[in-house]
Amino acid sequence: MIINPSKLTGEISAIPSKSYAHRALICGGLARGKSKIYFDRTSKDIEATIDCLKELGADILKFDGGVEVSGIEKKDGVPYINPGESGSTFRFILPLATFFYDRCRFTGEGRLPYRPIKDLLDLMKDHGVSFSADKLPFVSKGKIKAGDYMIRGDVSSQYITGLLFLAPLFDEACKIILTSKLESKSYVDISLDVMEKFGIKVEEEIYGYEVSGQTYSPCDYKVEGDWSNAAFFLAAGALDNEITLRGLNTNSKQGDMKIVDVLKNYGADVRVTEDSVRVRSDKRRHIDVNLEDVPDMLPALSILAAGAKGRSSFYNGKRLRLKESDRLSTTAEMIRALGGQVEEREDCLVIYGKGGLRGGVVDSHNDHRIVMAASLASVISDDKIYLTGERAVEKSYPEFFKDFKKLGGSLE
């Protein structure tokens, strides 16, 4: 794909939050009865969660604007669980599958078989489950047992969410004991928020979480707008012209809502209403951002930094090396390919902004957020951007380029 230098301006609606959709679908699958989950746009990752729930025995029917989910009813045979490239789907479903079935087959695609899972597998082994291998593909054997689950909080918050979904299904209370600081806590807060809507109460303790045996209740649930993907277009407004995103919950639990504060610090004129955010370009100042709770924002923030003048730093990002790509490395590679100056360190990036970029050839490494960031770079590039692997956006935002063009983006 060739992306031409262009100015983006106008108004679009935010897509439904992938994080909330995953969780609402799973809670619907665990409930006794029928739930309606409302979201008007989907993605490969959301479809992966739907497919895995159906494989476990949930009945899911699509309608215009959402799906109706009937709770899991155990089937005969051995489920074959394929979450595609969705790390969230895999880590959420894995413990649940071993609650319902003595034996399950698991596989995955892309980089998923190489992304972290060992800590969760080891914990599940301590609670009655064995695995034919230490990475995908593998077969699980045995049903997971209740008890105290001791796990690190600095590898993947998705482990914690998977255990939280599981815990209410047992008759006895379970404790999830964190042996290190919980990073990306906002994602766990999203899980607790959704679980509460489905009737589950979780006690937050100094050591982690305690969950008593409870029953998921069906409900009708509307998925809120996605701040993670909205961040790219909001950043475009800060770089040049003015952009409004509608359908965003400005009281959201989503950590990437932090983009509002980042853009204000950057020097943009930001106006927040009850369900929308308008960003107008003004000053472009260098920024320093702690990535611990907002790792997905790095690619968009790197373009902001390149569009400013001076030294910007993005730190506490070590876990970004374990995403769809080594996102510290691929973000740095993108900035260099476009004519920017960047220094890559073990857990951070330092970008020396020059007020713009040159253009060039960008390899997305099949990472949806690199694709969106490279497209955003066209706002401040002097020449064309040649992008490979643009279809990676289908993972989270299949209509990204449609919205990009609606705002004035030019591509071939």
Residues in Cβ contact with 239 at an 8 Å cutoff, skipping those fewer than 6 apart: 281, 284, 303, 304, 307, 376, 379, 380
Q: Catalytic: 296?
A: yes
- Side chain identity, residue 218: P
Give dist(CA 42, CA 21) in Å, integer.
Answer: 9
Q: What is the DSSP string of 92-119?
A: HHHHHHHHH-SEEEE---TTGGGS--HH
Alpha helices in 251-390, H assignment, sequence order: 259-266, 298-307, 327-337, 368-376
Give dist(CA 332, CA 345) in Å, integer.
Answer: 10
* CB neighbour class for 1 (10 Å; exposed up to 12, middle 13-18, buried from 19): middle
Which of 296, 326, 347, 363 is an active site residue?
A: 296
* CB neighbour class for 251 (10 Å; exposed up to 12, middle 13-18, buried from 19): exposed
Give dist(CA 246, CA 398) in Å, integer.
Answer: 18
Question: Residue length, the chain?
Answer: 412
* CB neighbour class for 98 (10 Å; exposed up to 12, middle 13-18, buried from 19): buried
* CB neighbour class for 206 (10 Å; exposed up to 12, middle 13-18, buried from 19): exposed
Describe the strand order of the beta sheet including 341-344 as a list of residue ranges. 288-290, 309-315, 349-354, 341-344
- Radius of gyration over every alpha carbon of the chain, rounded to an integer in angstroms: 21
Candidates 173, 170, 221, 172; CA nearest to 193 is 221
Residues in Cβ contact with 206 at an 8 Å cutoff, skipping those fewer than 6 apart: none
Give the active site residues: 296
